[in-house]
Every structure is written in structure tokens, then in C-alpha cells.
Amino acid sequence: MLSWIKRSLKGKSHGFSLVEALIAMVILGAISGAFLNGLGTAYKADLLANQKTSAESLVRTEFEYIKDSPYWAYGFSYEIPAPPGTVPPWDADHDALPADYQGYSIEVLGQQINPSTRLTYIGPDMGIQLITIDVYHGNTLMVSSSTYKILR
């Protein structure tokens, strides 16, 4: 069978021309470039998804920390990692993130709320606060979430 193929092609083929080879290389290069571009986009999307997941984990952890903390009637604000003097008023040791979260920062704001208007205000405490947590990666806001804390 192989000899039949050799005989039928003998004398009719002189190889590829330079133009054919260049066209094939251009097509292969375009396909390879599109594939590599797709890989780069997928990598960036995965990186962003991991950053969002880490930020959401930090928000949940901080909400649990605040839930387990005493009610602070005057409102509060703090950051983590903490610049000097910005730790939570009830816990001076809560000033750093775990090593796994390098590059992240948290801003927490607790404001008094008027229960009838649901607006923040400054005045006598009415036993309810709006807690807002913002998580940043570098200077980019990744997650912002709010909840209420009630004096019990």
C-alpha cells in the first residue's frame, strides 16, 4: 500500500513554497497568541476571585469579632493593621491581620442609629449601631458590608 502512495505522489510534489510556509506560520502564531491571551485573562480572573474570597473571609471574621465584643455606646472607628491610636477602644491587642492576609487592610465604623428613622445621629445612645466594614487590597476596595448591633 505504501508503494502505491509513493508512486502516485512521485514527480507531482515539489514541497511547500515559501508563501505557504509563511501563511501557515502566521495562522499558527495568531492561534497561539489568542490561546496565551486567554490564559492570561483566566489567570487575572482567578487572582481577582481569590482576592475577593479573602476579603469576604476578613469581613466575616471581623463581624464575628464585633459580635463577640462588648457593646460600645459611643460609636467607634478603627483600622487594621492599626496606625497608632486607632485600635478598638475595648481591645488594644486587636491591631494586626494574620500573616496570610498581607496587603489587606480593614476599616471599621460603628455609628449610633435612631431606630425610628434608621439614620445615623450623634446624641444619647438608643441601643443600636450600624457597623460598616470595608476591606481593601492595596488601595482597592474589595468588599464593603454593613450590619446592625443591638445592646442586649
Render pLDDT for 6-20 as a digit per residue (tens, 0 to 9). Answer: 665 565 556 678 888
Strands 128-137 and 76-80: unpaired
Strand ranges, E, within 46-125 = 76-80, 104-114, 119-120
Residue 73 lies in a domain: yes
**What is the distance of C-alpha 100 from the center of its chain?**
14
- pLDDT over threshold 60, residue 83: yes
Domain with 136, as residue range(s), is 11-150
State the total domains in the chain: 1
Distance, first Cα to last Cα, the chain = 91
Residue 4 lies in a domain: no
- pLDDT over threshold 90, residue 134: yes
- H-only helix segments in 69-100: none
Share of the chain above pLDDT 90, in %: 48
In the structure grid, which three cell numbers stand for residue 20, read together?
505557504
pLDDT of residue 36: 92
Residue 1 lies in a domain: no
Residue 92 lies in a domain: yes
Residue 53 lies in a domain: yes
Residue 6 lies in a domain: no
Q: What is the pTM of this model?
A: 0.73
Residue 41 lies in a domain: yes
Using CB atoms within 10 Å of the CB of residue 133, give its burial: 0 to 12 exposed, 13 to 18 middle, 19+ buried: buried
Residue 3 lies in a domain: no
